[in-house]
Each structure stands twice: as C-alpha cells, then as structure tokens.
Amino acid sequence: MNPELAGQVFPPVAPYLVGREKIREFSRAVFATNPINLDPEAARAAGHADVVAPPTFAVVVQERTLEQLLAAPDAGIDFSRVVHGDQRFVHHRPIVAGDELTAQLTVTSVKSLGGHSMVTCDSVMTDAAGEPVVTATSTLVVRGDEK
Amino acid sequence: MSTLQPTTVPALPAVGDVVAERTVQLNRDALVRYAGASGDFNPIHYRDDVAASVGLPGVLAHGMLTMGIAAQPVIDWIGDPARVLDYQVRFTRPVAVDPEHGAALQIIAKAGKVDDEARTARIDLTVTFAEQTVLGKAQLVVSFA
C-alpha cells in the first residue's frame, strides 16, 4: 500500500438523502425492534423529526467514501485482501429520515505490521446546513502476500 | 398508547451492572437481508463456493451485521437509539453461519464506566459465538441526559 496516502483528503461524495423506508429496512436487517427506529409517530412522540437510524446506519454512506479509496489508482490496495479491522461511529446528533448527508473521507494513518498494512480513515458526514452529524472511522487491514 | 409516550430513561447503572442480555439466532436469510439493506454484496456473505475458495470456514456474517445486532439490547434498555453517542468495535473472529443451523450470537452488556456529571455511561459488550468472543473493545457511550 502507498504510505503517502496518509493525510490524503478525498472530494466529498454526492449528497445522500436518508429515506424513511431505508431506515426501516436497515433497522429490520439489524434486528432493531425499537419503535423509534420504525414508527414515525413513536419517533415524534420522543422528540425526533422522523424515524431515527440505528447507530451503525452511517455505514451505508461511509461505504461510498471507502469506494473512492479502494478505487484510487495510486492507493495500491488489493480489495480481495482487505479485511475490516475496526469500526467506530461518533454521533454529534442522530441520523433521522429526511437528512441529506454529505460525506468526506480523510486517510488518517497508514501503518505496516508484520507484512500487513493497516489504513485508518475518517468519513465526516455533515447535513444540508453543513453541521456535523456523524464521523465514521474504519481501519482496514490489507493482508500481505502469502508466502 | 404506550408506544406513543416519550420513552423513560433508566437510572444510571453502577459499574459492573449487567444492563442487557440477549441471544440472537442468525440464519442465512438474515445475511441476504443485511446485504440488501446495507449494499454490501461481498459474495463471502452468501456463497459457500466463494467463501471456500478464499479459505474461509463457511459463509460469514457481515461484521457490520454483528455490530448492528449487538447494539440492539442496549438500545432497548436505554429506550431510544438517539441516546447512543459513540459506538466502536474491533472485529476479532468471524461468525460462520451454517446453512441449516445458522449461528447463535450471545450478547452481554455491562456498565464499564459511569460519568455522573455528564450523565453518560460506557457500556461494554461481550459478544460470543460458539463459546468464543467475536468482537473486541466493543463499547457504546450512551446518554441519560
């Protein structure tokens, strides 16, 4: 992997409009049963504008930024050797249906460890007003050549 | 109707308290559903031949599916998904999902740290499959404010 990737900032991806049915679909897929994930009335009664996404929902948007990294010709990342190492979501506020999220990827570190490479990147997501919503951080491990 | 009332927040736990516990049965259809919902169509999550060709013990659950499921008992305890401020995991072992018998994930959530002033708690998850933990440093910070 190219060590000079560290510090690289990619252009923001096209805004992602968070749909109510997408949140409900994702919620069911992660076995969420909380009515605030599923029922707009319950969400409003709890003080939210619409259904609230599960805490890992931002991965749907983050994925679009990671695709930029994996596709970058100068990155030197072989996708078939990539393993997901760590994942984190830090929320400034919850994602709710109707949000329009713009995500931008920054590579924060590139390390080598025992023949493997590890790349850590932040995808910072902001809403239509430019306010921060969530930062998704992934560490991807790229396995070295098997000898 | 009870579901339309504002949710009640539980009392701040004491460090070491088990706040939630659940066993979730995962089957292949859950993997296909998560692939569709998340957009992660890596075939190691639904094709035995592809999983075998890259040396895996079988079709694996998406790590992000395990992460997503593991938060749910905590969300049901805290009452509102919006109370999760921070959630992180390390993927340490794969979860192979048998085509016939699936895989049972056991989730235990314990209070690891409590901040009385900020009214937040760090909840530490132990997620086990076939008697081995599959997530490391699995922690949520939840708000009681």
Q: Which residues of B touch A94 (CB under 8 A)?
A: 81-82, 84
What are A104's strand-pairing partners?
A124
Residues of chain A above pLDDT 70, percent: 98
Query: Mean per-residue pLDDT for B86-110?
Result: 97
Q: How far is CA B18 from the centre of its chain?
A: 15
Contact A27, A35 (CB under 8 A): no
| SS3 of residue A38 by DSSP | helix
pLDDT of residue A1: 76
Residues of chain A above pLDDT 90, percent: 80
Q: What is the value of pTM for the model shown? A: 0.95
In Å, how far is A3's CA from the nearest CA of chain B?
Answer: 23
Q: Which residues of B touch A87 (CB under 8 A)?
A: 63-64, 67, 88-89, 91
A73-92 pLDDT per residue, tens: 888 888 778 889 999 999 99
Contact B93, B129 (CB under 8 A): yes
B2-49 pLDDT per residue, tens: 445 556 899 999 999 999 999 999 999 999 999 999 999 999 999 999
Query: Mean per-residue pLDDT for B55-59?
Result: 92
Q: Which residues of B touch A47 (CB under 8 A)?
A: 6
Residue A34 is nearest to which of B36, B76, B86, comparing CB atoms? B76
Taking all residues of chain B, what is their mean pLDDT, rounded to a whole number?
94
pLDDT of residue A119: 95
Residue A31 is nearest to which of B36, B72, B137, comparing CB atoms? B72
What are B114's strand-pairing partners?
B121
Contact A91, A133 (CB under 8 A): yes
β strands within chain B, DSSP E: 18-26, 84-91, 103-115, 120-129, 132-133, 135-143
- List Cβ neighbours of B128 (8 Å cut-off, separation of 6 or more): B105, B106, B108, B134
**Among the listed residues A108, A106, A111, A109, the one whose alpha carbon sits nearest the alpha carbon of residue A144:** A111
Query: Mean per-residue pLDDT for B42-67?
Result: 94
Q: Crossing angle for the helix pair B28-38 and B63-78, nearest 10 degrees?
A: 90
**What DSSP state is assigned to residue B109?**
E
Least confident of A53-62, A100-109, A136-145: A136-145
Residue A43's closest chain B neighbor by CA?
Answer: B4
Helix boundaries (H) for chain A: 20-29, 35-38, 40-45, 59-71
In Å, how far is B107's CA from the nearest CA of chain A?
Answer: 13
Per the CB < 8 Å rule, is B75 touching A56? no
Q: Choosing among A33, A48, A62, A87, which should be mutated to test the B contact, i.e. which has the most B CBs within 10 A?
A: A87
pLDDT of residue B1: 42
CA geometry: angle B135, B145, B141, nearest 5 deg: 15
pLDDT of residue B6: 57
Q: What are all long-range contacts of A19-23, with beta carbons under 8 Å and residues at least 24 apart? A: A19/A97, A20/A50, A20/A51, A20/A97, A20/A98, A22/A60, A22/A97, A22/B37, A23/A51, A23/A52, A23/A53, A23/A54, A23/A57, A23/A95, A23/A96, A23/A97
Residue A143 predicted with pLDDT over 90: no
